[in-house]
Amino acid sequence: MTKGTIMTATFRELPPPVYFTRNGACYLGDSIDLLRRLPEGCVDLVITSPPFALLRQKAYGNKDQAEYVDWLCGFGVEVRRVLRETGSFVLDLGGAYQRGVPVRSLYQYRVLLKLCDDVGFYLAEEFFWYNPAKLPSPIEWVNKRKLRAKDSVNTIWWLSKSEWPKADVRQVLAPYSERMKTLLRNPDAFYRPKDRPSGHDISAGFGADNGGAIPSNLLQISNTESASSYLRLTRLVGVQGHPARFPAALPAFFIKFLTEEDDLVVDIFAGSNTTGSVAERLGRRWIAMERDAKYVASSALRFMEHLSEDEILARFASLVDGSSNDPLDLSGSPTLFDHARGERGA
């Protein structure tokens, strides 16, 4: 069975999406119900940032810390089922404090342990997302009482279905430093190979230009996009953007690292659908799942930047008022979703 045939069958198992593009589709509904409709072993990467287990309720919805671990790991069971044997599950989780005291919650570590010990995932590697633009928080312990440093790092668990997930770090090489560029231009003038104190010989290939440096598992990505087309278009149609958006560079790193062109990427808490828009740009198939209708509607704006303002207003209005029973076509060309829809007689 070809990848295209598998993809067609995958889309055919799902209900009609709210909108679709050349490479993917966005669905409104509870993602655990939507995941259960997907065939086993059809997804290459699930990457998502669920609502965190915070003490205060947010507009986008979040669970209390006491029930969070079981709630999130329930999704993990279905995620593992739909992943290919070489597939990965990348989970972004922010930290939190216990109620009323300056002591950290261990919820994100309990999630990790349960996903590995009970659900059956492997921890391929832990990453840490440092956001230098993050505002000081929590206010009580950082700003008011000055008892703690500000929380600027999220943990990102790279989990895999098997011990050998698909991955190629050459796809995410970091730019060389200026010092390294100087060394590469004339390595003999700047470096004399010798054994390290540990006894390792690092001379082999040290002066070779490999196109970039191996990235570390500390990802420094500012979450600032005040001038993005998404926010510009939300202002045009008169709605608020999603309050907790992925910076595009974050899903881009893992999509390039862990998938190949035409692989299927899924976000089960899609929000403003940054993941889908990045996957579209990188030539991956994608499925976005989101239970909040207003966020689904505004996420379609990520795929309308090539349209005129009148067309954007008209298409967005059709999503909001439900004037059309058909999914909104933002593809401009035939898609696998079109083929799947035809097979089921829609």
Active site residues: 49-50, 92
The position carrying tokens 């059956």 is 120
Residue 87 neighbours by CB under 8 Å, 6+ apart: 43, 44, 45, 46, 160, 161, 165, 166
Specify the long-range contacts of residues 108-111, CB closer than 8 Å, at least 24 apart: 108/53, 108/155, 110/69, 111/68, 111/69, 111/72, 111/73, 111/157
Chain centre to alpha carbon of residue 236? 26
- Length of the chain equals 346
**For residues 284 and 259, what is the distance between their CA atoms, to the nearest angstrom?**
8
Find the angle CA(47)-CA(304)-CA(49) to the nearest 5 degrees. 20
Which residue, among 167, 288, 311, 144, has the nearest Cα to 236 in the 3D structure?
A: 311
**For residues 98 and 8, what is the distance between their CA atoms, to the nearest angstrom?**
46
**For residues 248 and 37, what is the distance between their CA atoms, to the nearest angstrom?**
28
